[in-house]
């Protein structure tokens, strides 16, 4: 049984990365389009094209981590090594250089690629740690629940910081002489300073995660020359792993849903909600994080009663129903904001229950692969979780910006065209529901049931003790 301090320490890792991930998911589209000054189509293309790089960098990092051997373990050292580079690059990603449009365009590509590299270098090993902190499937769900609870705490704090940021500028005049309605109107250096606060916190939390955790399950990864598997064999084992493909598809669908909803919120509040409402966009997102934290507390109990797969599917069904309901909110009425909040809380509760399951199920897929192929490639397996997160987020950001561009979004307009407003409403309702439906379609075929995993882990214990 792992110590409580280790579970808390493990949670601090996603406390850190989630703060930046939520800023990227919720605020990067509006930062690129309204602050940095990229055309929506260029920003959308940037988010999509850089995923081709991530498709290579994530598995490569998994292969590197699997072959790392230090006195601190295989995966844990990367939390220490990458803490400060992650913070520096994250801050620079929200800096706007005083340069021509072409130079700024190149800078945006460079910083986004560097940020995703830093994110990969810390989060692929961090995720893989779940496979070596315990060999018990139930305790992996507990670790995952701690991870996601602290992830939502991190998101809560990040959204709280942005809430104060938003509250401090609304109604004031920016450097261009415009009265500010939201963070999209804020001056560029204000963005950089706000993000730097989050970055410093991230660096400290990654280091604390390193200090408070240990790798208990010793999974040897021999080099090919010593009888271990080669990189080619590891990659072949990955691409022939059916449960991995199915869980990867489900995770991308889930994250696609979340990133579109989160990214669309800033546009929804700035262009559709009445400016007199007492709740800002940041407060709306903050309430969602609280609801997700509450949802996490139900994960272990529900997954033990109904199984991980069935619980995951049920939560995505809830996401579809409550997301679609947002389209039918009576806009212009005094009750509109309260209906929006109610459906947002229900969607967020569902996401909170589902999120820990993704990581716990990737750990199960790693155990399945170890039993089937005779060698552990935990880092490579968990690289797919990072890849799914970035693919889902990037495709969501691409679709958000591409649809805005296609339907005529123009920041210079005080009132957007009717078709633009309808597109923003759809991206808060029907479009993210499609992502959840994709996740369900993959999960229906996922084979690693509770009974199957109990059998796999019993066989692995015998093999590891031999």
Confidence category of residue 225, pLDDT binned at 50, 70, 90: very low
Q: Could you tell me which residues come within 8 angstroms of residue 149 by beta carbon, excluding any fewer than 6 positions away?
A: 11, 293, 296, 297
The full set of domain ranges for the chain reads 8-217+228-465
pTM: 0.74
Cα separation, 117 vs 252, in Å, equals: 19
pLDDT in the model for residue 443: 97
Report angle CA 149, 63, 111 to the nearest 5 degrees.
65
pLDDT in the model for residue 85: 97
pLDDT for residue 179 is more than 90: no
- Determine the average pLDDT of the residues in 73-97: 96
Return the DSSP state at 179.
Answer: B
Please tell me the CATH superfamily of domain 8-217+228-465, with its number. MFS general substrate transporter like domains (1.20.1250.20)
Q: Which residue has the tokens 């959308």?
A: 44
pLDDT in the model for residue 226: 43
pLDDT in the model for residue 182: 78
Return the DSSP state at 331.
Answer: T
Cα separation, 332 vs 393, in Å, equals: 31
Which stretch, 117-121, 277-281, 371-375, has highest mean pLDDT? 117-121
- Determine the average pLDDT of the residues in 425-431: 95
Dihedral angle sign, alpha carbons of residues 280, 284, 285, 289: positive
Say if residues 19 and 201 touch (Cβ distance below 8 Å).
Answer: yes
DSSP string, 404-459: HHHTT--TT-SS--HHHHHHHHHTTTHHHHHHHHHHHHHHTT----HHHHHHHHHH
Cα separation, 116 vs 11, in Å, equals: 21
């Amino acid at each position: 049984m792992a110590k409580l301090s280790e579970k808390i320490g493990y949670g601090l890792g996603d406390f850190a990365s989630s703060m930046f991930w939520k800023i990227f998911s919720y605020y990067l589209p509006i930062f690129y389009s309204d602050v940095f000054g990229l055309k929506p189509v260029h920003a959308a293309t940037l988010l999509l094209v850089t995923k081709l790089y991530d498709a290579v960098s994530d598995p490569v990092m998994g292969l590197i981590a699997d072959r790392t051997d230090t006195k601190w373990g295989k995966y844990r050292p990367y939390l220490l090594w990458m803490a400060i580079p992650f913070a520096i690059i994250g801050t620079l990603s929200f800096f706007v250089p005083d340069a021509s449009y072409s130079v700024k365009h190149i800078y945006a590509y460079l910083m986004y690629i560097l940020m995703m590299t830093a994110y990969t270098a810390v989060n692929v090993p961090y995720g893989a740690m779940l496979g070596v902190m315990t060999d018990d499937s139930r305790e992996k769900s507990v670790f995952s629940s701690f991870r996601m609870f602290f992830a939502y705490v991190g998101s809560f704090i990040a959204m709280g910081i942005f809430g104060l940021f938003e509250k401090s500028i609304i109604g004031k005049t920016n450097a261009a002489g415009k009265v500010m309605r939201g963070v999209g109107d804020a001056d560029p250096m204000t963005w950089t300073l706000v993000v730097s606060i989050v970055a410093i916190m991230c660096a400290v939390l990654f280091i604390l995660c390193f200090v408070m955790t240990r790798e208990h399950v010793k999974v040897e990864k021999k080099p090919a020359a010593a009888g271990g598997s080669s990189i080619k064999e590891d990659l072949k084992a990955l691409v022939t792993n059916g449960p991995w493909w199915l869980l990867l598809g489900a995770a991308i669908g889930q994250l696609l849903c979340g990133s579109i909803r989160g990214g669309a919120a800033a546009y929804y509040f700035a262009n559709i909600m009445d400016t007199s409402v007492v709740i800002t966009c940041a407060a709306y997102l903050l309430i969602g994080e609280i609801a997700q934290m509450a949802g996490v507390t139900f994960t272990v109990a529900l997954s033990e009663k109904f199984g991980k797969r069935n619980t995951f599917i049920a939560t995505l069904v809830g996401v579809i129903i409550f997301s679609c309901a947002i389209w039918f909110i009576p806009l212009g009425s005094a009750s509109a904001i309260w209906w929006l909040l109610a459906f947002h809380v229900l969607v967020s509760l569902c996401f909170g229950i589902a999120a820990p399951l993704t990581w716990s199920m990737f750990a199960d897929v790693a155990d399945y692969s170890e039993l089937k192929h005779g060698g552990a490639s935990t880092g490579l397996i968990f690289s797919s979780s990072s890849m799914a997160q970035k693919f889902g987020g990037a495709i969501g950001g691409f679709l958000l910006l591409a649809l805005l561009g296609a339907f005529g979004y123009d920041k210079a307009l005080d009132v957007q065209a009717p078709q633009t407003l309808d597109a923003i409403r759809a991206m808060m309702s029907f479009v993210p529901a499609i992502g959840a439906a994709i996740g369900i379609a993959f999960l229906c075929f996922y084979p690693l049931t509770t009974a199957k995993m109990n059998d796999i882990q019993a066989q692995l214990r015998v093999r590891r003790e031999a």
